[in-house]
Amino acid sequence: MSAEPTRRRVLAAAVAAVTASGAAGCAPGRAWPWATPPTPAPDVGTLKDLIVAEDALVATYARVVSTFPALSASTAPLLRQHQEHLAALRARLVIPAGAAPPASAMPRAHPAAEPFPGSAHTAVAYLRAAEHTQAAALTGRLATVTPSLAQLLASIAASEASHAALLTRNPR
């Protein structure tokens, strides 16, 4: 007998509060905790940049091979390893649901700024430069990532440095 009026009073007070503040989203009070998207870890932005760059390197190899088929046999193992690098980087990329896309710190995705080569000989030098550029991009990101990702990036950079050396030794 005494509980009923009390409950009614509480409900009435709540309705009054909502009415007073209005039904729109401009109501005073705290935002729902999940209204703000989670902030992606710094690794996410780094990985996205490096995936774009590695993808561009794979595309560069594919274009060189389609233009100069004579280079196909010697560059095939290198291209295969770049595809492994790309898969390993993509496997590390975990973006929280609803997260805002991270800002990119890498202004340019394509590894080589110089014009596309006109001969097989200059194409090898072009690939060598692209390998050096990508290795430098990877090592440039080491200080800001987790230790585990730093190891992966350092290993891929070492692989790419050895690609550049092999392209120097075996021009054809």
Partner 1 sequence: MTGNPVAGALQVVLAAENAAIFGYGVAGAYLSGAQRAAATAFWNDHRVAGDTLAAMLRARGAEPGAADDAYRLPFPVHTAHDAISLAIFLEDGVTAAYLGLVAGGGTGLRGFGAQGMQDSAVRSSYWRGSSQAFPGFPAAPPGTTHVRPVQ
104-113: long-range contacts (C-beta < 8 A, 24 or more apart)? 104/45, 104/48, 104/49, 105/45, 105/46, 105/49, 106/49, 106/52, 106/53, 106/137, 109/49, 109/52, 109/53, 109/55, 109/56, 110/56, 110/60, 111/53, 111/56, 111/57, 111/60, 111/137, 112/60
Candidates 8-16, 26-34, 78-86, 99-107; binding stretch for partner 1 (CB under 8 A):
78-86
* Residue 152 within binding range of partner 1, rule CB under 8 A: yes
* Residue 148 within binding range of partner 1, rule CB under 8 A: yes
- Residues 100-139: x where in contact with partner 1 by CB under 8 A, - otherwise, as a string: -----------------------------------x--xx
* Residue 72 within binding range of partner 1, rule CB under 8 A: no
DSSP H helical segments within 68-146, as ranges?
Answer: 72-92, 120-139
* Residue 157 within binding range of partner 1, rule CB under 8 A: yes
Among 84, 100, 101, 114, binds partner 1 (CB under 8 A): 84
* Residue 158 within binding range of partner 1, rule CB under 8 A: yes
In the complex, which residues of this chain contact partner 1 (CB under 8 A)?
77-78, 80-81, 84-85, 87-88, 90-92, 135, 138-139, 142-144, 147-148, 150-159, 161-163, 165-166, 169
